[in-house]
Each structure stands twice: as structure tokens, then as C-alpha cells.
Amino acid sequence: MSDTLPIASVSQPLQLKDPLVGSRLGDYEVIEPIGEGGMGVVYRAVHPLIKKRVAIKVLKPGAATDVGHVKRLVAEAEAVNSIGHRHIIDIFGLGQLDDGRPYIVMELLDGEPLDVYLRRNPKLPLHEVLTLLVDIASPLAAAHAKGVIHRDLKPSNVFICREADGGQYLKLLDFGLAKKAMGIDGSSAQSSQHVVAGTPDYMAPEQARAMPVSARTDLYAFGSMAYEMLTGEVPYVGQTPMDVMMAHVSAPIPSVSALVPSVPPALDELVRRLMAKDAAERPASMADVRAELKVIISKLSPTGSYQRLEPTTDRTSSSTETPVVRGRVTEYAAPAKERPAVEPVVAARSKRPFVVLGAGLTLIALTGVLVAFREKAGSTTAPEPARPEVVGPVDVKPLDPVAPLEPVVPEAARPPEVVVAEEPLAAPGKQPPRKVPTAEQLEARVKRLRAELTRLTPVGEAPDADVDRLLGAYLLRSYAAETPALRSDLEKSLNSFERDMMGPLRARAKR
């Protein structure tokens, strides 16, 4: 069993007086125990001089005599530092007590594990589920790129950290079971064929059979987590842990859409591939999975509902999808109806084209006379440098005696930009093109707005649901904004959002 997470906001004091409380471990003074697992105890500690807060995981006396447990603690510190990802908990110290028990010093996190969050919020909207999955996939992809296999991916090992300004981010925890991929195919043999490591609810078939594991073993656990987040249920249940493990090995792959019919088909199919019994049939890498999730996100409407790209067969039907609420999935609304095509406005035919044509021919004739006169005078007078003739906004076209004349839009219906377009262009460099923000900058902006929404919300009240929902949709759009056009559109949406939605909230907070 893996250790309880280093949580700053949850305290689980031990029954007896702990001799380590008040003692000094390295540079830190132990304050109190904040979590306990089968292998060790996690303490809150602080540096007495600079007041830096940390979490210290110490092996229990019984576990310290097990060489395997000691190696696991050291392997966790080594794996975390070999990856070096901002969404993986940082471990920056390793030491040993006077009685020989090892300990590690890591960052102290303030927040709650994902499993606790899911119990508090049993009905997550689709956009939030996808956001969490994309954020979890990022550190896992980085670990796999370094050849590290987690082997114990589950909601309790994903930590939702909260910042003082109301923002939040994820941290991946507990690499105590992590293995280095040593095989040519990226696989690694398990520690023993008689010992199965991991958590049954999320265990890949090859892991349950004590067979060699690979990065695709983590993909199976990721798919099991996705299934639970979408349906509110773990993929398999049984009377004993062995029953659950055998179900992962031989039972049919469960379908998300069987419990939640309104789930996007692409997401349903992705979860099924992630949970394939044969590791070779799963996606090639976690990076590929993250890319597929981003494609699904790109097909979401601004409200967070999934919109099919193909048109419906009956455009005149008045039927709509029935919202489904089951488990932790709220609903996915039907695609919005298409807007009717706008008929072009065509002005009645008038004599204006002939007037314009006559004026154009007259200008051409005058220009020819002027050119002939200058050529004739060229023998006695030095020619002046050619200057461009400035002609008004007259569109002169050759007359086709066969094709009908094009209709002309009346003056009143013409936008003012038509006149401005004919003006001379400004000198280059005076008005540099506007720089489109990057996807990372847009993501950071949305997160700042979310943090501001939390600050502007009165104590004891929940943030405005509509505003929070829009911010969730904007965050998804920032993940999928891979082209300048998409990023520019999102920037305009955020500008309007700040003016129309955040503006009133800011004004109310000042009163």
C-alpha cells in the first residue's frame, strides 16, 4: 500500500505520542504527522531559520528492516529527480535516522488528492474531466520520455494543489513503485513473479499477472481512471482484490457509453483502446493520448458540450438530445442549430455603371494625351521622375459585350472601409503587426482570471456558475489553440469576457 499523500490541509494525528515530533531531521524541525500509510509516516516540518515548510516521509520501523521497502524509498527520490517536471512532486533531500531508518524530504503541498475531490464533486462537467486528464497526461509523458514507469497511477496519487490567489494545478505523486524501462522494447520485469505491485482497481492485465511492464501499463491505469471520472464507477468490482485483478485480465472491456450514452464517441473509443487487454493494442505513447484528448477538446462548443462535425441527416427535425446525468458526468448538450443562410442584398439595376464606365474611359483618354505631349517635349526638356497618378475609387473594368453587367451595391449600403482601402498605405514600420499571444500565454491568462474570480467571490459563496463554466471552456480552447487564427479568436473572446463578465464583478467588489 502506498503512503498517504503529503497534505498540508488535512491532519491525521497518530494515537500515541510520536518520538519524532519536536526532533530535528537534518535542517528541519518536525512539527506533526499529517499522514500515515502501510510503509511509512509523513510529517510536516519547517526550517527554523527561513521558515520553509516541507513534508518528510519516514519508513516505519517494521518496513525499515525490509530491503525492498528501503530500495523503493530511494528509487522514488531517484525517479522524481531524473524526470524533473514541474507537475511531479519535488524531492530535494534524503537522510537517515539514528536508528537507521531512511527518510526523504519533499515539498509540502496544500490541497487535496483527486480521489477526495471526486468524492466531494461526484458530477464533474465534461470540460473539467478533459482538463484534468490532459494535465495528468503531461507529467506521465515526461516520465515515460525518461524511461520511468509509474506502476501505481490512481486518483489518490494525483494531487490538486491550491495557491493563495485561488489558482490550482496538479502534481503527480508517489513514484515508490516506479521502474526503469530496461528492455529493448521499453519494458521492465517486475520485482518478483510472486509479488504483484500496484492497486487492483487500476491494474493492467500484465501487471496483475506479474509479467513485464512498460509505459503502456500506465496507459491502462490512465484509461481506468478516465472511465471512473466519466462514469463515477471503477471499471471492475469484486468481492476480493484477486477477483478485481482477474476481471482486468479476462473480463470484457467496459464501455463508457453504456453508462453515459451522451459521451463523445471519440472519447469512448479512446478509453476502450487505453484499456485493451493486449498492451500492443493500446496507444503508442502517453504523448499520443494527450494529443487525442486535445483533438476532442477542439470539438467542444464554448459551453463545454461536444459538437459533432458531421451534419445531421434531418436538418428540419425539432428533436434534441436528452441530457444524461449518471455517476460523475453531468451531460453533454446537443449541437447548436445551424443559422439560416443570409440572402445577399442586390440593389436594383441602375444607369450608374454606364456613368462610371464613361468617366473611366475619359480618364484613360486624358492620360494618353498627357503622355504623348510629354514624349513630344522630351527633346528640349529633361523628363521629370515618374509620379504615380492618384485616381479616386473608380473601378474600371473592360466591357464584355456578352456577359451581363454586375449589380452595384448602393452608396448607402457600402461600408466605410471601401474608401479607406484606397488611401495610400502607411510607411512600413510605423504600425507593426499585432503580436498574437502563444497558447501558453492564453492558458496563463485564463488561470489568472479564474484566480481573480475566486478572490472576487464573497466568503462563503460559490463562484458564479456561468462565469466559471465559460472560463473552463476558454481553458480547453487554449489547449487546442495551435494556429495563430485560433489564438487570435480566443484572445478576442477573452477581451470581451473581461469587459462584459469580469467588469461588473470587479465593480461590485470595489463598492
Phi and psi, residue 32, nearest 5°: -165, 160
Nearest to 262 by CA among 329, 212, 205: 329
End-to-end CA distance of the chain: give it in Å, rounded.
Answer: 52
Q: Measure the CA–CA gap between 123 and 120, rounded to whole angstroms.
A: 9
The enclosing H or E element of 31 equals strand 28-36
Q: Measure the CA–CA gap between 92 and 52, rounded to whole angstroms.
A: 13
Q: Annotated catalytic, 152?
A: yes
Q: Measure the CA–CA gap between 248 and 202, rounded to whole angstroms.
A: 8
User: What residues contact residue 462 under an 8 Å CB cut-off, 6+ apart?
Assistant: none
For 340-366, give the DSSP string.
PPPPPP-PPP-SHHHHHHHHHHHHHHH
Check 3, 135, 152, 201 and give the catalytic one. 152
User: What residues contact residue 49 under an 8 Å CB cut-off, 6+ apart?
Assistant: none
Strands 158-162 and 111-113: antiparallel
Determine contact, residues 163/448, Cβ cutoff 8 Å.
no
Q: Measure the CA–CA gap between 63 and 36, rounded to whole angstroms.
A: 13
Q: Which amino acid is at 478?
A: S
Burial of 188 (0-12, 13-18, 19+ CB in 10 A): buried
With vertex at residue 396, the alpha carbon angle to CA 391 and CA 401, rounded to the nearest 5 degrees, is 165
Q: From the CB of residue 64, how many other CB atoms can be counted at a distance below 10 Å?
A: 21
Q: Measure the CA–CA gap between 236 and 221, rounded to whole angstroms.
A: 12
Q: Measure the CA–CA gap between 164 and 167, rounded to whole angstroms.
A: 7
For 36-48, give the DSSP string.
E-SSEEEEEEE-T
Determine contact, residues 43/7, Cβ cutoff 8 Å.
no
Burial of 415 (0-12, 13-18, 19+ CB in 10 A): exposed
Torsion of CA 200, 203, 206, 208, to 10 degrees: -10
> Could you identify the residue written with the cell 473539467?
128
Q: Which residues are catalytic?
A: 152
